[in-house]
Structure 1
Amino acid sequence: MNGFEPWLGDVTVSEGLWRFARSMDVQSDPYLRDHVVEGLPVFPAAYLVGLMTQAAHRVLPHLQVQGVRDVRFIQAARFKDHRGLTFAVTVKPSGTAPGWLPVEISSSMAPPRAGLPPILRTHASGEVLLGVPEAPPGRFQPLDFSGAADYAELYALPREIQHGPAFLAGLRYRRPARDQLLATVAPPGRPQLGWRPAPDAPGWPATLLNAVLHVAFSLGVMSSERTVLPLALESARLHAVPPGEVQVWARRKTSQEGRHVFHVASWDERGQPVGVFQGFAVQEVP
């Protein structure tokens, strides 16, 4: 465990269902204090994806996490009144699609008064692809970000969301067009350790996912001039976890009735592909 990455709980296996469960609060997971929405710590959507990949990798540790698809962010996990959540990540191999594992994340919270039932919520669902390592596609052209604007100004948008050190991954940005945003991101608060909390850590680093997707989130806020909340991620492929800086390109593909859909690509300083994210959808908050 560290102050930047989420971690799975104890596992039980029954009738093919794997269930990882643990209690979670701002003491056990201090990074929550650095992601505050309207005054309350909120579990980041990208971290939900990270937990999905961790769980799937624990089920099939001999394979590599290659992608995710059909991810839905159903309900935010908010932490209030100093009450913790019991987080549960469940995986049940279906056998219908080779390599794809369905994953769901839910939680329970103690009721506000004795005698009431616990508060149950489902936060996210999706599928994780595992397989043998594949050769990455062609190289990207590394960009020169000298003279670009400081990404810190994007963390101030929108006012309803505050980010602390655990999430300050963005370094520089450029907006070449209204529907595009280019940025450079780096491991937040721990450049000497890179993106992974440990070399053998399962799944995808949540900090890397969050840093890359935050570029699209920032573009959504800049485009709509409103707070936006994540809805879905159509698919994603992570080709490699680089040691240092990552260059990110986000493009808004569609915008209709307050719903924005983005395509995001990322690569390292040598132009080697890092990850490609298709159909990252956000919704404007009235």
Structure 2
Amino acid sequence: MRHDEPRLGEVSVERGAWRFERPIDTGTDPYLLDHVVEGLPVFPAAYLVGLMTQAAHRIRPHLGVVGVRDVRFVQAARFRGTRGFQLAVTAEPEEAEPDDIPVVISSSMSPPREGSPRILRTHAHGKVVLGTPKERAARFQRIDFSNAADYAELYALPREIQHGPAFLAGVKYQRHAPEQLLAVVAPPGGPQRGWREDRDMPGWPSTLLNAILHVGFSLGVLSSARTLLPLELEAADLYAVPEGQVQVFARRQGVHGGRQAFHVVSWDGQGRPVGVFRGFVLQEVP
């Protein structure tokens, strides 16, 4: 797997629950150094969703990932220095809906003082929807971004967050209205790399999820001029992984109590849908 994609750990199965577990730190996963929030590397929220899809797909490899539902980002996973933790991804199919698989991502860390209990945290939970991918019809208009602004301007906002090469997927952007943002994104490192190195890799590429959702995040930052943290993703319909650049449209749907909700749509160079994200909610940091 390429160095800018997270991976699952060793698997164990007990009473129908699949648990993938491995140690993680900035040495095992150097892309973390390219996502720094207020001075500390932070595991990207979109990568948590990517791990969810990997876990579910490992359980039902004969099906495709067609969506996620009811994702909640509970607590950020931060890294201090070289200290890491044990990352666990737990998926347990339900008898009533065997192809809608709940997934929980958590971690455990050694305590700061000997004799104290290990530090346990839940980082995210949600449900991955598996099924047979449907044939996509072109229904979006391809937009000309030749005279648009450089997306690098958005990566510089807000100043509390720094992005490195593993996350520089945005190419150009346009903003025709305060509540809207259009952008074109490409795989980190250039379109020639593709969104996934191995076609047989399970799940949906985390880099692609991150590139698309970052457009919604950027619109939120432009709208509030504040640092934002993801809270939830109500639902996403996921289609075939494209080969190259993806065009993205984000629209802010509402603001309430420091929370902003967004609708984000993406499509490939032929106008075929890539991903449709509803209820992507961001919270202003106090």
TM-score after normalising by structure 1: 0.98
1:202 maps to: 202
2:282 maps to: 282
In the alignment, structure 2 segments of 5+ residues that lack a partner are: none
Identity rate, percent: 67
After TM superposition, give the deviation of residue 240 of structure 1 in Å.
1.5
1:105 maps to: 105
For residues 143 and 46 of structure 1, the distance between their equivalents in structure 2, rounded to whole angstroms, comes to 25
Matched, 1:163 2:170: no
Contact 2:133–2:240 (Cα < 8 Å) also in 1: no
For residues 161 and 137 of structure 2, the distance between their equivalents in structure 1, rounded to whole angstroms, comes to 36
After TM superposition, give the deviation of residue 20 of structure 1 in Å.
0.3
1:73 maps to: 73
Structure 2 CA distance for partners of 1:98 and 1:13, relative to 1, 3 Å: closer
> Which is worse superposed, 5-14 or 268-277?
268-277
For residues 54-74 of structure 1, the C-alpha deviation after alignment (integer angstroms, 9 at most, x for no partner) is: 000000001101000000000
For residues 259 and 197 of structure 1, the distance between their equivalents in structure 2, rounded to whole angstroms, comes to 36
Which residue identity is paired with 1:11? V
Matched, 1:232 2:247: no
Matched, 1:181 2:181: yes
2:149 maps to: 149
Contact 1:246–1:268 (Cα < 8 Å) also in 2: yes
**1:76-155, aligned counterparts within 5 Å?**
76-155=76-155
**1:211-222, aligned counterparts within 5 Å?**
211-222=211-222
Which residue identity is paired with 1:14? E
After TM superposition, give the deviation of residue 191 of structure 1 in Å.
3.0
2:16 maps to: 16
SS class of match (2:267)? strand
Contact 1:83–1:110 (Cα < 8 Å) also in 2: no
For residues 120-140 of structure 1, the C-alpha deviation after alignment (integer angstroms, 9 at most, x for no partner) is: 100000000111121225420
After TM superposition, give the deviation of residue 108 of structure 1 in Å.
0.6
Moved over 6 A (4+): none
For residues 284 and 117 of structure 1, the distance between their equivalents in structure 2, rounded to whole angstroms, comes to 32
Structure 2 CA distance for partners of 1:190 and 1:148, relative to 1, 3 Å: closer
SS class of match (2:176)? strand
For residues 97 and 137 of structure 2, the distance between their equivalents in structure 1, rounded to whole angstroms, comes to 24
Which residue identity is paired with 1:93? P
For residues 242 and 2 of structure 1, the distance between their equivalents in structure 2, rounded to whole angstroms, comes to 17
2:27 maps to: 27
TM-score after normalising by structure 2: 0.98
For residues 212-269 of structure 1, the C-alpha deviation after alignment (integer angstroms, 9 at most, x for no partner) is: 0000000000001100100000000111111110000000001111100000000111
> Which is worse superposed, 242-251 or 133-142?
133-142
2:64 maps to: 64
Contact 1:4–1:31 (Cα < 8 Å) also in 2: yes
Structure 2 CA distance for partners of 1:190 and 1:184, relative to 1, 3 Å: closer
For residues 117 and 125 of structure 2, the distance between their equivalents in structure 1, rounded to whole angstroms, comes to 24
For residues 15-45 of structure 1, the C-alpha deviation after alignment (integer angstroms, 9 at most, x for no partner) is: 0010000000111101000000011100000
After TM superposition, give the deviation of residue 96 of structure 1 in Å.
2.3
For residues 122 and 96 of structure 1, the distance between their equivalents in structure 2, rounded to whole angstroms, comes to 25
Aligned residue pairs, count: 286
For residues 137 and 109 of structure 1, the distance between their equivalents in structure 2, rounded to whole angstroms, comes to 47
Which residue identity is paired with 2:182? L
In the alignment, structure 1 segments of 5+ residues that lack a partner are: none
> Which is worse superposed, 91-100 or 151-160?
91-100
For residues 40-95 of structure 1, the C-alpha deviation after alignment (integer angstroms, 9 at most, x for no partner) is: 10000000000000000000001101000000000000011421111000011112
CA RMSD of aligned residues (A): 1.0
For residues 68 and 137 of structure 1, the distance between their equivalents in structure 2, rounded to whole angstroms, comes to 21
1:243 maps to: 243
